[in-house]
Amino acid sequence: SRGLGDVYKRQLMALGLEVETGIAKTGVTGLLRGDQEGFTIALRADMDALPIQEKTGLAYQSLNTGVMHACGHDIHMAVVLGTAMVLKSLKNKIKGNIKFIFQPAEEGTPSGEKGGASLMIEEGVLKDPMVGAVFGFHVWPQAETGTVMFSPGSIMAGSDRFTILIKGKSAHGAMPHEGIDAIDLSAQIILNTRSVASRSIDPTSPVVISFGKIEGGKKANIIADRVHMEGTVRTLDKFMQARVKKLIEDVIKGTASPVGASYEFDYQAGSPPVYNHPELAKLLQPSLYAAVGEENVVELKPVMVAEDFSEYSRIIPGFYFFLGVTSTETKTIYPLHSPYFNPDEKSISIGIKVMCHLLLDCLKQQESFANRPSE
């Protein structure tokens, strides 16, 4: 994100905004002060790409081998910068201030490092002046260009990660009774976790437990003494995250201990669910109608993908929506994180229009929700 940060620094300075750099390592902010007194709101764009080799074959595809904007963050940045350009020209109509946040590391940080939204908050991105509400969005290939998807309450899941190391005992494959089979135990843990979760958790509070990596064993005729597993937990209920952690560990212990195996379990809590403040949503939903037409605003069922925008919206009221980016002409759909992902660039101007409506209307109605907690 360092190169992008320099680009946006120059662009924001050219607009005459108050610019700060080096936030959360490569983050950039630009503050637009309106001509009228009021409080401050923020608009956030994530900047990072993904370790994917682009295969679109387009003239403007990534020039960096093995790196691609496969999650649409380039569209996010373009919309936020375009919104800054438009609103700078409307400075005399702005009642308050707007902070434009360009954030690195939404896709995660290297192991052991801090970054993303939580580090930007820690380093004061919501202060000087204090931010009273925050806005964000994500491109959505399952919706056509011109469509906005939105709903109040939780709309994206919280995401945690875990690792499990099963410690058994090696033996000859012909004499398994002399060993403790870590591979067999890992298979039981995977199945038991899903079974217990389906019977221990209220089905109206969805939880997704996924094992994405498993490594163990050395040779076909040797009972494995070690198996390493990694997985994720997705839930729409922030209180459920702690409960799921205990559930998984209970299953591991109950499977390993009776046969004399031991284990290591590391559970890393991630961002909570993305939450749209209901009162803010009620006030500003008409703004979406004004921007794209009521017929193009579609109610969104919560999705189990995750986003660290929730770090902002659990502190102050947040407003987050999905922007359709599938061309109505080609209707070719490639999912997020695909090497063929190619969002319709016509969505950029639509996103700018939506954001301008939301931000201006928010400042006009700021007395209705300013300084209230997000939940």
The model's pLDDT over 292-304, given as tens digits with 9 standing for 90+, comes to 999 999 999 999 9
DSSP state of 271: -
Average pLDDT, the chain: 93
Q: What digits encode the pLDDT tens for the residues 188-229? A: 999 999 888 888 888 888 899 999 999 999 999 999 999 999
Residues 276, 280, 285, 290, CA torsion sign: negative
Any idea which residue has 């390592």 for tokens? 25
For a pLDDT cut of 70, what percent of the chain falls above it? 97
**How far is the C-alpha of 324 from the C-alpha of 226, rounded, in Å?**
46
Q: Has residue 372 got a pLDDT over 80?
A: no
Which structure tokens are listed for 127? 């202060």
Both structure tokens of 197: 């979760």
Residue 243, pLDDT above cutoff 60: yes
Cis peptide before 129 (omega within 30 of 0): yes
Quickly state the pLDDT bin for 94 (edges 50, 70, 90).
very high
Eight-class DSSP state of 169 = B
Neighbours of 271 (CB within 10 A): 24
Give the pLDDT band of residue 375 (cuts 50, 70, 90): very low
SS3 state of residue 156:
strand
Helix (H, G, I), strand (E, B), or coil: what is residue 341? coil
Q: Which amino acid is at 11?
A: Q
Q: Residue 298 has which token pair?
A: 């579609």
- Report the pLDDT value the prediction gives residue 328, as an integer from 0 to 100: 84
Residue whose tokens read 């979406």 = 288
User: What is the model's pLDDT at position 240?
Assistant: 86
| Tens-digit pLDDT profile for residues 293-352 | 999 999 999 999 999 999 999 999 999 999 999 998 877 789 999 999 999 999 999 999
Burial (CB count within 10 angstroms: exposed 0-12, middle 13-18, buried 19+), residue 104: buried
Residue 10: CB partners within 8 Å, gap ≥ 6? Answer: none
pLDDT digits (tens, 9 = 90+) for 149-197: 999 999 999 999 999 999 999 999 999 999 999 999 999 999 999 888 8
* C-alpha span between 141 and 344 (Å, rounded): 9
How far is Cα of residue 4 from the mean position of the Cα atoms in its chain? 19
> What is the full DSSP assignment across 180-219?
B-HHHHHHHHHHHHHHHHHHHS-TTS-EEEEEEEEEE-S-
Instruction: Write down the pTM of the prediction.
Output: 0.91
* CA–CA gap between residue 350 and residue 324 (Å, rounded): 9
What is the reported pLDDT for 373? 45
3-state secondary structure of 179: coil
Percent of the chain with pLDDT over 90: 86
pLDDT in tens, 21-73: 999 999 999 999 999 999 999 999 999 999 999 999 999 999 999 999 999 99
By annotation, the residues acting in catalysis are 48, 106
| Beta-strand relationship, 148-150 and 131-144 | unpaired
189 alpha carbon, distance to own chain's centre: 28
Quick one: CA dihedral 352, 356, 357, 358, positive or negative?
positive
